[in-house]
Amino acid sequence: KAGVTQTPRYLIKTRGQQVTLSCSPISGHRSVSWYQQTPGQGLQFLFEYFSETQRNKGNFPGRFSGRQFSNSRSEMNVSTLELGDSALYLCASSLAPGSGTEAFFGQGTRLTVV
Amino acid sequence: GESVGLHLPTLSVQEGDNSIINCAYSNSASDYFIWYKQESGKGPQFIIDIRSNMDKRQGQRVTVLLNKTVKHLSLQIAATQPGDSAVYFCAEKESGGYNKLIFGAGTRLAVHP
């Protein structure tokens, strides 16, 4: 069974641009969560999607958005990029929401904003 | 609260020794806990989990202990190997039907031959 696939693996963008990252969850998994990882802040929750609906959102500005498609694939978008958005963006896949549901991570997309 | 990981603590052990990595979690409403291992350039890898109705769970070479009284979680790795060198994160999930994980700051495990 294939794992969580994130594309692209690496991105370099200029301040002010926007970016879209993609995540394909494990087959059969319907819940997708996104996290930002930086050396200063560690791993921080961005948002979670299930059945094409955003179920939960972390403390990030509105420039960060996402969506989920009917096949459970998810995208996240960051508009008006800032230098501080440089980070590893991780996607986690779970069967469904709820406690006791293991979350499996992809390799991440390394975004560098210059 | 959210984790802040400015300076990762490091645990250095000799190959073959047992390792114990500790984590203090923040939310008494959390009812599910996971340990992840992250190697350089990779995403976090699931190691073991435990629910709040348990205080111990064992896997292959790993044991997780949960002390809800003091909100403390630990990961024990038996016979540590060089391949265990990585950053280890604990994560907690609040009960309520969502998958939001709150991560600890992480501990770097360095295994020396």
Place of tokens 């501990």: B107
Measured CA to CA in angstroms, residue A38 lies from A33, A62, A87, B5, B38 at distances of 17, 19, 5, 8, 13
Measured from the Cβ of residue A98, the count of other Cβ atoms closer than 10 Å reads 16
Measured from the Cβ of residue A87, the count of other Cβ atoms closer than 10 Å reads 22
Whether residue A64 is predicted with pLDDT greater than 50 in this model: the reply is: yes
* Ordered strands of the B62-67 beta sheet: B19-24, B72-77, B62-67, B56-58
Which pair of tokens denotes residue B21? 């990595």
- Within 37-96 of A, beta carbons closer than 8 Å to B belong to 39-45, 48, 50, 55-56, 58-59, 90, 92, 94
Place of tokens 């440089």: A86
Tens digits of per-residue pLDDT, B39-60?
A: 998 999 999 999 999 999 999 9
Interface of B with A (CB under 8 A): 2-6, 31-32, 34, 36, 41-46, 49, 51, 89, 91, 93, 95, 97-106
Number of CB pairs, chain A paired with chain B, less than 8 A apart:
91
pLDDT the model gives residue A100: 65
The answer to whether the CB of A36 falls within 8 A of the CB of B101 is no
Flag residues of chain B having pLDDT under 50: 1-6
- Taking phi first (over 0 means left), then psi (-120 to 50 degrees means alpha), and beta for anything else, what does residue A18 get? beta
Q: Average pLDDT, stretch A87-94?
A: 96
pLDDT the model gives residue A102: 84
Mean pLDDT of chain A: 94
Task: Name the residue among A87, A101, A93, A4 with its Cα closest to residue A44.
Answer: A87
Q: Which of B99, B101, B103, B107 has the highest number of chain A CBs within 10 A, making it the mutation to test binding with A?
A: B99
Q: Average pLDDT, stretch A41-58?
A: 93
Find the Cα–Cα–Cα–Cα dihedral A75, A81, A85, A86, rounded to 10°: 90
